[in-house]
Amino acid sequence: MLAFAITGSPACAAAGLPPWTGKRFGVLVMFAAKVARGGATEENDVPAPAADHLDRRDIEASLAGDGEAYGRLIRRHQDAVGTYLWRFTRDRRQWEELVHDVFVEAYLSLRSYRGRGPWLHWLRRIATRAGYRYWKERTRQKAREPLSLESWDAVATDGSRERAAADAAERVHAVLTRLGPRDRLVLTLMYLEECSVAEISELSGWSRSMVKVQAHRARKRLKTLLEEGEHA
C-alpha cells in the first residue's frame, strides 16, 4: 500500500480540507500489484447498491463537517479511480498526482453533486477532465516523433501470455501518446474502456454527435500516423 501524503499542500490549505488530510490522503492502491492479483480492499468490495447508499451517507456527513467521512469515500473508490487514470499515464509519480487531484477536486466540488447517479460516475467525469488536462499540457511540451508500425502490430502478434497483456498495454499507450488530446481521449474511452457513445458523451461533456465525429477523425489520424511511421 502507498500512503499519499499531502501535508503542506497550498491548494489543500487554501481549501480548508478536513484534519485527516494533514496526515494522510487516504491509502492509494499500488496499482500494478493490485491488478496482478485481482485484489480489493474490504470497502472496495461492497456491492454497487450498498456502495451507493454508503456514498450518500458519507457525502452528507462530509458536507456536515465529518472529516473521516470523506476518507471513507476515498478508500471505497480509490482503486476504481486509480485504474481508470492509469489509462492517462504510465508515469507513477504523475499518476499519483492525478489521483490526488481528482479527489481534491471532488472534495472542493462536493456540494455540486446532485445525486442523479452513482458518486463513482461523477468521480469518473472529474477524472476524465483531469486526465484530458494532463494530456493537453503534455502535448504542449512534447515534440512529435516518427511512429513505427511495428509497435502497433506487436500488440496483436505477441505470443507470450505472461508478457502479452503488460507489453500490449505499454505499446498501445505509446501509440496513443502520438495523438492529440481529443483524439486520444475518444479512442481511449471507446476502445480501451469500451464505453458506449452515450457514456463517452457523459464523461467528456461532448454531444453524442460530437463523439461520433471525433471518433471518426481520430481513427483517420491514427491511420495516417501509422502509415507515416511505416515509411519514415
Above 60 in pLDDT, residue 93?
yes
- Considering the domain architecture, whether residues 151 and 209 belong to the same structural domain is answered as yes
pLDDT confidence of residue 106:
95
- From CA 75, how far away is CA 213, in angstroms rounded? 37
Q: CATH no. for residue 70?
A: 1.10.1740.10
Find where cell 503542506 sits: 8
Burial class (CB in 10 A: 0-12, 13-18, 19+), 66: middle
Last residue of a domain, one of 113, 137, 161: 137
Per-residue pLDDT reduced to its tens digit, 125-160: 999 999 999 998 887 766 444 545 555 455 445 555
pLDDT confidence of residue 212:
93
Q: Which residues contact 145 (CB under 8 A, 6 or more apart)?
A: 178
Cell of 114: 446532485
- Considering the domain architecture, whether residues 66 and 92 belong to the same structural domain is answered as yes
- Considering the domain architecture, whether residues 150 and 123 belong to the same structural domain is answered as no
| Domain that includes residue 159, residue range | 144-231
Cell of 33: 500489484
